[in-house]
Amino acid sequence: MLRRRDFLGATIGAAIAAMLPGRARAGAKPVRVALYKAGGVHPVAFAAAKALLEGREGFRLRVTVPGDIRGGSLADEDVVVFMGGSGTAQGRNLGDVGKQQVKDFVARGGGYVGVCAGAYMALQGEDQFHKLRIVAGRNLTGDFWQRGIEGLEVSAPGREPFKLFYANGPIFTPVAVEGLAPYVPLATFVGEIYNLSKGTGPGEMPGTPAITASQFGKGRVLLFSPNPILGGRGVVHEALMLSGLRWVATPGDVRPDVSFADVFG
């Protein structure tokens, strides 16, 4: 969940471009991406995703509002993206019909990318938080989510630790859910941030997933607790988002041994 708009707004100008490792095949169909826009989507997070994808080779971007989704617009998409802000508000604005449309889309083979609040929304949780419940996980500290905003170091097998922009994203912890395979951690937090006065404490973040991959029906789900496309120099890793979109748009099972390199190159 994003907060402190002034701070976040300043990050957009500092974002550095990153390219995918390799180009799309000549003549390949673009990845059709629906970027959700509604109350609860932080305008800075939305603007960063829109700027990244609009006009980018190999992608076709469509901004999608709740009424579009309720009307069945995801049938024309490969991936739906939910960015940061408030997951509860985003789910509430989708409504029951819209949430079911998203679940059906992924179950049929569509891709889901959730960043920060969009990741919260995909997890298990109480009805009042309007969760999709398409991933067998929850936030470790439940309703206590306020930790702070900072570039935090994460690690992934086969590469040097790197920083991603964290802004109150979920601390993934597994939950056994009938019919759902466990999520697969792709990268884990090394650093941590917490706010004792808000109910979050030390030792809760290190070693927990920063990025997860999972399956829902025939579709792939990719969740980022931190935001890979905000934060400024040394923290922005736009290629993670671009590679991730391509991966979730590709048909296939999510193997239990899927790795960071499999998804991001």
User: What's the angle, vertex CA 9, arms to CA 6 and CA 14, rounded to 5?
Assistant: 130
Instruction: Give me the pLDDT at residue 1, please.
Output: 55
Say if 265 falls within a structural domain: no
CA dihedral 181, 251, 224, 130 (to 10 degrees): -70
Other residues' Cβ atoms within 10 Å of the Cβ of residue 5? 11
Does 135 fall in a domain?
A: yes
Per the domain annotation, does 24 fall within a domain?
no
190: in domain:
yes
What are the tens digits of pLDDT across the range 127-182?
889 999 999 999 999 999 999 999 999 999 989 999 999 999 999 999 999 999 99
Closest C-alpha to 112, from 44, 171, 35, 41: 35
**Mean pLDDT of the residues in the chain:** 91
Confirm whether 198 is domain-assigned: yes
The answer to whether the CB of 250 falls within 8 A of the CB of 264 is no
How does residue 27 score in pLDDT terms, banded at 50, 70 and 90?
low
Please tell me the distance from the alpha carbon of residue 60 to that of residue 57, in angstroms, as a whole number.
8
- Tell me which residue range forms the domain holding 9: 5-19+29-260
pLDDT value of position 215: 98
Q: How many domains does the chain have?
A: 1
Q: Residue 50: inside a domain, yes or no?
A: yes
Does the residue 36 lie in any domain? yes
pTM of the predicted structure, to 2 decimals: 0.90
CATH of the domain at 87: 3.40.50.880
Q: Which of 8-12, 29-33, 181-185, 256-260 shows the lowest per-residue confidence on average (mean pLDDT)?
A: 8-12
- In the beta sheet, which residues pair with residue 150? 166
- With CA atoms as reference, report the closest residue to 103 among 130, 76, 134: 134
Q: Express each pLDDT in 118-129 by its tens digit.
A: 999 999 999 889
- CA atoms within 13 Å, Cβ hemisphere of 131: 18
Whether residue 178 is contained in a domain is answered as: yes
pLDDT band at 234 (very low <50, low <70, confident <90, very high): confident
